[in-house]
Amino acid sequence: MLDIVFISYDEPFADENFALLKERFPYAMRVHGVKGIAHAHFAASKKANTRFFYVVDADAKILPSFNFDYKPSIDKQDYTHIWKAYNAIIDDSYGYGGVKLFSKKFFKDPNLSFLDFSTTLTKDVEYMDEISCNTEFYYGEKQAFRGAFREASKLTIQMRNIGISESMREAASRRLDKWLNPKDLINSEFVYRGVIEGINSVNKQIIDINDFTQVDEKFKKGN
């Protein structure tokens, strides 16, 4: 049984989602209010007592079918594992917002800053086929903007990266197109705004997507 750490910052339904997680997995732990994605994950690694640990985002509703019972084989112990999340605002399932499994040994330098934290701790990433949760990042206006801004920035950079395969660039392009056409759900207008701002920030080479303070300032300027 590997530890589960729930990471929250200011998400509207974080308390409810953590309570639901604890109902099924009473040993789940929580890191709350740590500023900065990297620092929050380092705090999670310190809290975890097992060699490998799961991370659950605060806006994730874990599916009843997901059991946190995977353990990496010997040949996969240096991998970050990322499960899919269903995202209703774009009607698609992929790694965005999904459950992740990390090794504690990845967390050595608390000052590290990454564009995409989960995929740069190690060069080896295992994308799992199973859907772990529904990601409901869009239930708050600011959170909808912030999540869309960060993901659109990453997808824009990925689709322009000639150092990766053409199929990966095409996948990023298809996903970005879905983000540009969000479903008519709660706060979809803020999702769209975040996507546009994220693309524009890449075009202007202003890429500070892991600094919530700066991203939230972009949100405030549009209101």
Q: Which has the closest alpha carbon to 146: 178, 194, 189, 108?
A: 194
The H-or-E segment that residue 55 falls in is strand 52-57
Residues 116 and 10 in one domain: yes
Residues 201 and 173 in one domain: yes
Residues 117 and 202 in one domain: no
Residues 10 and 76 in one domain: yes
Question: Quick check: 86 and 133 in contact, CB under 8 A?
Answer: yes
The per-residue pLDDT for 115 is 46
The per-residue pLDDT for 162 is 85
Residues 115 and 127 in one domain: yes
Q: Which has the closest alpha carbon to 67: 156, 131, 116, 146?
A: 131
> Residues of the chain whose pLDDT is less than 70?
109-122, 206-210, 222-223
Q: pTM of this prediction?
A: 0.91
Model confidence pLDDT, tens digit, residues 82-128: 999 999 999 999 999 999 999 999 887 655 555 455 555 567 899 99
Q: Identify the domain boundary among 113, 137, 161.
A: 137
Residues 9 and 119 in one domain: yes
Residues 20 and 93 in one domain: yes
The per-residue pLDDT for 123 is 74
- DSSP for 104-143, please give it: GGG---TT---SSHHHHSSS-EEEEEEEEEEE-GGGSHHH
Residues 156 and 119 in one domain: no
The per-residue pLDDT for 107 is 87
The per-residue pLDDT for 110 is 56
Q: Which range marks the domain in which residue 148 is found?
A: 140-221
Residues 95 and 157 in one domain: no
Residues 91 and 149 in one domain: no
CATH of the domain at 49: 3.90.550.40
Looking at the 3D structure of the chain, how many domains does it have?
Answer: 2
Residues 31 and 128 in one domain: yes
How far is the C-alpha of 147 from the C-alpha of 145, rounded, in Å? 6
**pLDDT, averaged across the chain:** 91
Q: Identify the domain boundary among 137, 157, 187.
A: 137
| Cβ-based neighbour number of residue 197 at 10 Å | 21
Q: Identify the domain boundary among 94, 113, 137.
A: 137
Residues 106 and 158 in one domain: no
